[in-house]
């Protein structure tokens, strides 16, 4: 059992965020154990040929056989929706002694360190530069265009759902909704470690005014804490809707809906059971964002969609009328 001790002020400053760098690093788990991540298999099949051109020696060494990653590779986001380049820049400024300590804590014994890491720790700054370069190439080759738009929409939808749960049902329901192993009572957030494959290195932490950040991820089966309790507290948890990553766009079987809206708009309306951006919809349908944008504008003007802006990204979702039409 791991216990997080939260005062009233700590609960008030608990927040949600998501991290593209975290998702990039955690996605490397798929290369170690694809069977654990069935929803990512279509993506894995697409990127396999591209991996040969990357620094797969160091990328493979960033994840242990038991799927732990060093804490410094997933720094706590400084805001709710950081960009990948912003987070990679922070990663590149990690002190060399932290790189060394985190790798040793993650692999637990010196003998377990992969050769590329054991050699690299003789010059941690050089190793860090190689890691950031490898992650940057991996992001732009395998994730940014082909995978991230859909993943980001799922993470955004998760944050919207958690906000509603907190507002309508309170903190107890919020934590229980993250994972059945979490329980909240009397200022303690308890995480059962009964099914952890490797014992947790610590069992108690006081949030103590540092703020608890909750991060959804597409690469976890349950809630996961950081390895080092001295870091500002973070809990990663499985994002809602991650199974939809492998879904193909739904067919349009309702002839009446097609006759009313036309096939492209009917298909878009069906896809928007969960919020999505123009870019993601275009990617899933294999068309240009401009074509999708024109249809979305018509559906929005007809009262079938709502839209919300997050930075430069606009996400669309069905209204109650849109839901009724799809039924």
* pLDDT of 60: 92
- Cβ neighbours of residue 174 under 8 Å, at least 6 residues apart? 162, 165, 166
Last residue of a domain, one of 192, 224, 243: 243
Do 282 and 220 share a structural domain?
no
Do 127 and 44 share a structural domain?
yes
Q: How many CA atoms lie within 13 A of 59 on its CB side?
A: 23
In the block, tokens 């860090």 appear at 128
Instruction: Give the structural domain span for 157.
Output: 2-15+151-243
* pLDDT of 98: 94
For position 316, which CATH number holds? 1.10.10.10
pLDDT digits (tens, 9 = 90+) for 30-49: 888 888 888 888 888 888 88
pLDDT digits (tens, 9 = 90+) for 2-27: 787 777 777 778 889 999 999 999 99
Q: What percent of the chain has pLDDT over 70?
A: 93
Q: Please provide the average confidence, as pLDDT, over all residues in the chain.
A: 85
Do 129 and 69 share a structural domain?
yes
Please check the confidence at residue 80 and state whether its pLDDT lies above 70.
yes
Do 173 and 60 share a structural domain?
no
**Total of domains in the chain:** 3
**147 falls in which pLDDT band (50, 70, 90)?**
confident
Do 308 and 259 share a structural domain?
yes
Do 134 and 29 share a structural domain?
yes
Last residue of a domain, one of 227, 243, 259: 243
Q: Is the pTM of this model over 0.85?
A: no
pLDDT digits (tens, 9 = 90+) for 82-98: 999 999 999 999 999 99
Do 226 and 141 share a structural domain?
no
Query: DSSP character for 93?
Result: T
Highest-scoring range by mean pLDDT, 29-33, 122-126, 165-169, 250-254: 122-126
Last residue of a domain, one of 95, 115, 146: 146
């Amino acid at each position: 059992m791991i216990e997080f001790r939260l005062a009233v002020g700590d609960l008030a400053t608990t927040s949600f965020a998501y991290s593209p760098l975290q998702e990039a690093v955690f996605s490397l788990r798929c290369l170690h154990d694809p069977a654990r991540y069935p929803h990512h298999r279509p993506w894995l099949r697409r990127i396999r040929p591209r991996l040969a051109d990357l620094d797969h020696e160091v990328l493979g060494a960033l994840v242990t056989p038991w799927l732990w990653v060093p804490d410094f590779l997933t720094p706590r986001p400084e805001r709710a929706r950081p960009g990948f380049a912003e987070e990679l820049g922070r990663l590149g400024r990690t002190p060399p002694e932290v790189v060394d300590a985190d790798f040793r804590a993650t692999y637990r014994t010196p003998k377990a360190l992969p050769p590329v890491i054991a050699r690299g720790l003789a010059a941690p700054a050089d190793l860090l530069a190689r890691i950031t370069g490898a992650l940057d190439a991996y992001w732009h080759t395998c994730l940014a265009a082909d995978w991230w738009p859909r993943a980001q929409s799922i993470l955004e939808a998760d944050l919207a759902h958690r906000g509603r749960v907190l507002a309508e049902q309170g903190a107890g329901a919020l934590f229980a909704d993250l994972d059945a192993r979490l329980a909240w009572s009397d200022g303690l957030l308890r995480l059962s470690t009964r099914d952890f494959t490797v014992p947790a290195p610590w069992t108690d932490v006081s949030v103590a005014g540092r703020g608890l950040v909750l991060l959804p991820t597409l690469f976890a089966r349950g809630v996961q804490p950081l390895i080092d309790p001295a870091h500002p507290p973070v809990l990663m948890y499985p994002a809602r809707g991650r199974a939809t990553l492998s879904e193909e766009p739904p067919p349009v079987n309702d002839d009446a809906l097609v006759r009313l809206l036309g096939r492209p708009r009917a298909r878009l309306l069906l896809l928007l059971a969960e919020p999505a951006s123009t870019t993601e919809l275009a990617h899933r349908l294999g068309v240009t964002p401009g074509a999708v944008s024109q249809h979305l504008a018509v559906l929005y003007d007809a009262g079938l969609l709502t839209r919300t802006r997050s930075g430069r990204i606009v996400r669309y979702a069905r209204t109650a009328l849109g839901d009724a039409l799809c039924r």
